[in-house]
Structures are given as structure tokens and as C-alpha cells.
């Protein structure tokens, strides 16, 4: 079915940088700059749902190793093109729950603009905690469509309820923070990066 996540994001891949990447350009800039406040040159980083590599390319010079994973083959193909020649970057078409990702093997896990598309958010957060080393960092940026009405939120509500796109969550900023805390993290920083819908950056530490 075309509204299944992998097929949906495969179709979005070729235009993603021009559409979402363009509209949210300043938010992406702020996501990267905020994240760099927490990363060290010795860190091993997992970028969950790396998409076309918009942030992977910019974070790579500031970490020892970045593995970008995404369920969409078309997205990962574009990310590989952007990051080719970078010895410390590995891009794979991998699901977060695949056993090739070893528990306790990453200093930081990032998840940018993906959490609202996850019907199993608590399970994902628990898995991220499992993959992190003790005291590891979770860095995310997420649209909170339930915070207040927005054109994008209304469009996604209609599309997700008519089968034109997969699941979309409508949590509030406080609701998202609460879910992250309930799944084993301590919030270190929060900042809204976009007027409406709010795009909430959260830095959290594995408790």
C-alpha cells in the first residue's frame, strides 16, 4: 500500500529537500547548532530516520562516527550521495529494532522530524535508551501538532485519516516531554524552533 511508511517516504525522497528542507531551513539550522552543543569529537552517533542526510552531513565533522539509518531505500540512497567520501559516516537501510544495532553502543542518538510519525513512540524511546551508553544523549526535533491549530496540522490530519499518508501523532509540547521522561530520560534543554506548528528541540540524557 502506498500509504505505508516505507512506500510513502520513498515517494517523498526526491522532493524532500526542496519541500520540507526548504520550509524548515532555519529550523534545521537551529537543530544542528543546538545538537553540536552536546556532541564531542569522540562520540559514536546513531541518526535514526536520517532521511536524505540533511543533518548527517553537517553533524559528521563533529563526531568520531555517525551511522544514519532509515526505512526508506530512496532516502538512504540520497543520503549516501551527500556523504560519500566521509570516512566516519555509514548510511544503511535499517530499522531501529534490527539486532545489528547493539545495545549500549552509541554516545548519542538523534531523531529529527520523525517522532510524530511513530505509532509505537514509547517502544522507540525505550529502544533508543537501550542503544545508548550509560548517560548517553537523545537529541530530537519534532512538530507538536496538538499544541495549537496550524495549516500543516490540518492537512496532515486529513491525509492521515483518509489514507493519503501514514500515522501522524498530535501530541502537545508538554505531552511529548512527558512521554520522553516516562521512558527513562531526563530533559536537559527544550526550545521551540518554528512558529507554527511548534517544532520542539529536546536534549535529554539517559537516566
CATH code of the domain containing 65:
3.40.50.150
Helix 73-83, helix 5-16: angle, nearest 10: 40
Task: For the chain, give the number of residues.
Answer: 207
Q: Strand ranges (DSSP E) for the chain?
A: 44-48, 65-69, 89-92, 106-112, 132-143, 185-192, 199-206
Does the residue 38 lie in any domain? no
Tens of pLDDT, residues 150-206: 998 999 999 998 988 999 999 999 999 999 999 999 999 999 999 999 999 999 999
Q: Which domain holds residue 82?
A: 5-32+44-206
Helix 121-131, helix 173-182: angle, nearest 10: 50
> What pLDDT, on a 0 to 100 scale, did the predictor assign at position 24?
81
Does the residue 39 lie in any domain? no
Q: How far is CA 129 from CA 67, 76, 77, 95, 97, in A?
A: 16, 24, 27, 15, 12
Does the residue 113 lie in any domain? yes
In the predicted structure, residue 107 carries a pLDDT above the cut 70:
yes
Q: Is residue 48 within 8 Å of residue 96, measured between CB atoms?
A: yes
Does the residue 90 lie in any domain? yes
> What pLDDT, on a 0 to 100 scale, did the predictor assign at position 1?
43
In the predicted structure, residue 21 carries a pLDDT above the cut 80:
no
Q: What is the C-alpha to C-alpha distance for residues 70 and 6, in angstroms, rounded to an integer?
A: 9
Does the residue 151 lie in any domain? yes
- Which sign does the torsion angle of CA 36, 38, 43, 49 carry? negative
Instruction: Compute the average pLDDT of residues 122-142.
Output: 98
Instruction: Compute the average pLDDT of residues 91-109.
Output: 98
Tens of pLDDT, residues 23-81: 788 999 999 999 999 999 999 999 999 999 999 999 999 999 999 999 999 999 999 99
> How much is the pTM?
0.95
Confidence of residue 4 (pLDDT cuts 50, 70, 90): confident
Tell the burial category of 60 from Cβ atoms under 10 Å away from its Cβ (0-12, 13-18, 19+). Answer: buried
Domain total of the chain? 1
Instruction: Compute the average pLDDT of residues 125-141.
Output: 98
Q: Which residue has the cell 559514536?
A: 44
Instruction: Compute the average pLDDT of residues 104-119.
Output: 97
Amino acid at each position: 500500500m502506498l500509504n505505508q511508511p516505507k512506500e510513502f517516504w520513498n515517494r517523498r525522497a526526491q522532493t524532500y529537500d526542496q519541500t520540507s528542507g526548504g520550509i524548515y531551513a532555519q529550523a534545521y539550522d537551529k537543530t544542528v547548532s543546538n545538537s553540536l552543543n552536546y556532541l564531542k569529537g569522540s562520540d559514536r552517533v546513531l541518526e535514526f530516520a536520517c532521511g536524505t542526510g540533511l543533518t548527517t552531513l553537517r553533524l559528521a565533522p563533529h563526531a568520531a562516527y555517525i551511522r544514519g539509518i532509515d526505512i526508506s531505500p530512496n532516502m538512504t540512497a540520497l543520503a549516501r550521495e551527500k556523504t560519500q567520501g566521509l570516512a566516519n559516516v555509514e548510511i544503511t537501510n535499517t530499522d531501529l529494532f534490527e539486532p545489528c544495532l547493539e545495545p549500549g553502543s552509541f554516545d548519542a542518538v538523534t531523531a529529527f522530524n520523525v517522532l510524530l510519525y511513530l505509532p509505537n513512540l514509547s517502544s522507540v524511546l525505550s529502544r533508543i535508551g537501550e542503544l545508548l551508553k550509560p548517560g548517553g544523549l537523545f537529541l530530537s526535533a519534532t512538530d507538536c501538532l496538538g499544541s495549537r491549530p496550524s495549516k500543516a496540522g490540518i492537512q496532515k490530519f486529513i491525509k492521515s485519516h483518509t489514507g493519503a499518508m501514514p500515522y501522524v501523532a498530535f501530541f502537545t509540547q508538554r505531552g511529548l516531554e512527558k512521554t520522553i521522561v516516562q521512558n527513562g530520560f531526563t530533559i536537559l534543554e527544550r526550545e521551540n524552533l518554528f512558529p507554527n506548528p511548534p517544532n520542539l528541540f529536546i536534549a535529554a540524557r539517559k537516566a
